[in-house]
Amino acid sequence: MKRIKLVLLLVMGGLVSACANTNVASRNVPFEGAPLSAAPSVGFVPALSGVRVENITVRVPRSLTVSEANRYLPAGDIVWREDPIGDRHAQVAQIFHDALSRGTEALDGTTPVALDIEVSRFHALTEKARYTTGGVHNITFSLILRDPETGAILSDAKHIRADLDAFGGKQALQAEARGLTQKVRISNHLAEVIRQELTTEKGFENPRLGLIQAMNQI
């Protein structure tokens, strides 16, 4: 996708308005977030010219399936264990919101933007995989940049795959002893993913993590 200067998109974005339903987690959001599939085509531009993130909205659609099955490979869109059994959609939304807030807090550019996030997959490890084989945290989401005051769309939706190697067995136990739980590692990872998306030309480049990564994407 061809990249153009952010300032041009800000001018174009002022001509576009958005309305629909906002879901789950947000920070100081003055607008109703439209589904990312409804965004007009205006191109995606990382924040190379210097932005600051004022608002973050995270949606985890209720259509995403949740699996509590204790198996090696995930069976649903959401697999999460490190919070008490409950609303997994809300738990995932909070993890994203907190991580992205931390990952963008140092951005101090002159152009204000809002992040509109829609999660499509969140695979942590089940108990069985966590304490034996390990695996891959498969995480995918879409990102739109918006005007924080009007909600005007400033970019196309960008689909981001943000996979992370997942510790298993002895390595997992040693990591937990150092405080590196799945939540900590995933949160740190997402913070770095969004930083790269907003400060580098290519954005985050998903690593190649082998066969399990490929199987989880099926």
- Residue 156: per-residue pLDDT: 85
Q: Are 44 and 3 in contact (CB under 8 A)?
A: yes
Model pLDDT for residues 122-140, shown as the tens digit of each residue: 999 999 999 999 999 999 9
pTM exceeds 0.85 for this model:
no
Beta bridge partner(s), residue 25: 58
Greater confidence (27 vs 151) lies with 151
Domain count, the chain: 1
What pLDDT score was predicted for residue 110? 87
Contacts of 189 (CB under 8 A, 6+ apart): 99, 137, 139, 162, 164
Round the average pLDDT of the chain to a whole number and report it: 80
Domain that holds residue 130: 6-216
- How many angstroms separate the CA atoms of 85 and 72, rounded? 19
Of the pLDDT bands very low, low, confident and very high (cuts 50, 70, 90), residue 205 is confident
Question: What was the pLDDT predicted at 70?
Answer: 94
Q: What is the pLDDT of residue 26?
A: 55
Q: Is residue 1 part of a domain?
A: no
Give the Cα separation of 68 and 115 in Å (integer).
30
What's the CATH code of the domain at 98? 3.40.50
Of the chain, the percentage scoring pLDDT greater than 90 comes to 62
Q: How far apart are CA 17 and CA 26, in angstroms?
A: 19
Question: pLDDT value at position 11?
Answer: 31
pLDDT for 44? 56
- What is the per-residue pLDDT across 73-104, written as a single tens digit (0 to 9) for each? 888 999 999 999 999 999 999 999 999 999 99
Q: Is residue 144 part of a domain?
A: yes
**Between 48 and 93, residue with greater pLDDT:** 93
Decide if 137 is inside a domain. yes
Q: Is 120 a domain residue?
A: yes
Mean pLDDT of 25-48: 49
